[in-house]
Amino acid sequence: MGTNLKRKRKSGFLKRSSTPSGRRILRSRRRKGRKRLAP
pLDDT digits (tens, 9 = 90+) for 23-38: 998 899 889 888 887 7
One-letter identity of residue 13: F
More reliable by pLDDT, 2 or 32: 32
More reliable by pLDDT, 33 or 2: 33
| Distance, CA of 4 to CA of 9 (rounded, Å) | 9
> Residue 15: which domain range?
2-32
* 37 within some domain: no
Label each residue of the chain as H, E or C.
Answer: CHHHHHHHHHHCHHHHHCCHHHHHHHHHHHHHCCCCCCC
pLDDT bucket at 4, cuts 50 / 70 / 90? confident
pTM greater than the 0.75 cutoff: no
* 12 within some domain: yes
Q: Are 8 and 36 contacting, i.e. CB atoms less than 8 angstroms apart?
A: no
Q: Are 22 and 29 contacting, i.e. CB atoms less than 8 angstroms apart?
A: no
* 27 within some domain: yes
Number of structural domains in the chain? 1
pLDDT of residue 1: 58
Residue 6 in this model has a pLDDT that exceeds 70: yes
* 39 within some domain: no
